[in-house]
Amino acid sequence: MSNPLDTDAGSEMFASYENELQLVQADLNQKLDEITELSGEQRKSAISSADMVLDEATELLDRMRMEKQNIPSEARSKVNIRFRNYSTDIDDVKRKLKSLSDDRRALFGDRYTDEPQDEHLEQRQQLLSGTERLERSSARLQQSQRTALETEDVGRNVLTNLYEQRQTIQHTRDNLHESEGYVDTSIKTLRGMARRMATNRMITIGIITVLVLLIIAVIYSKFH
């Protein structure tokens, strides 16, 4: 089994699938070890169970393949190595399980011969095989449904967040417009005050000028 490396930034979902795959691989290896010690119906049942777990491992591997495309390129090389190791492990398990499944003598026990099986046994095997495929397809469908529901929840949360952000932006824009109105009013008030101050200054200067002229006139009239 591949050894996990430290999780790089942006690969949290990949690491989550990786942890799940490691648990599934451990379960697979245990089932393969058990199959070698079984025969007959028990062996067939164990092979069917291992085949379902192998489908789960393959599906996790497919998810990891898609998720690693979202990882930044500078961190993707290490992830690609880990993915190839897991892919090689799963291929080895597939070959080993196929070899165990092809061992018909262990599968059918002492009843196995090289002669063709009777028609009823062959039909029974075909029926069991069809049932197993149906169960695997049903399990994959349920998993896909769970994934779709999870994706729908994520999408709903994203839409909720976007709506809240839109409300916040709208509120901020309204506040800015209101603040701009206050600023315009303040500017107009300051300009009016400045004009009044200029007018008062001119009136004051005029009064002082008149007073000075009067004083000069009075002084002049006294000396002449």
The domain ranges of the chain are 12-108
CA 76 – CA 96 distance, rounded (Å): 30
What confidence score (pLDDT) does residue 219 get? 87
CA 20 – CA 158 distance, rounded (Å): 26
Q: Hey, is 37 helix, strand or coil?
A: coil
Q: What is the pTM of this model?
A: 0.46
Contact 57, 24 (CB under 8 A): yes
Residue 95 identity (one-letter amino acid):
R
Token code pair at residue 144: 């896909």
Which homologous superfamily does the CATH classification assign to the domain defined by 12-108? t-snare proteins (1.20.58.400)
What confidence score (pLDDT) does residue 112 get? 46
What confidence score (pLDDT) does residue 114 get? 45
Low-confidence ranges of the chain (pLDDT < 50): 1-7, 9, 110-117
What confidence score (pLDDT) does residue 113 get? 45
What confidence score (pLDDT) does residue 21 get? 92
Residue 223 identity (one-letter amino acid):
F
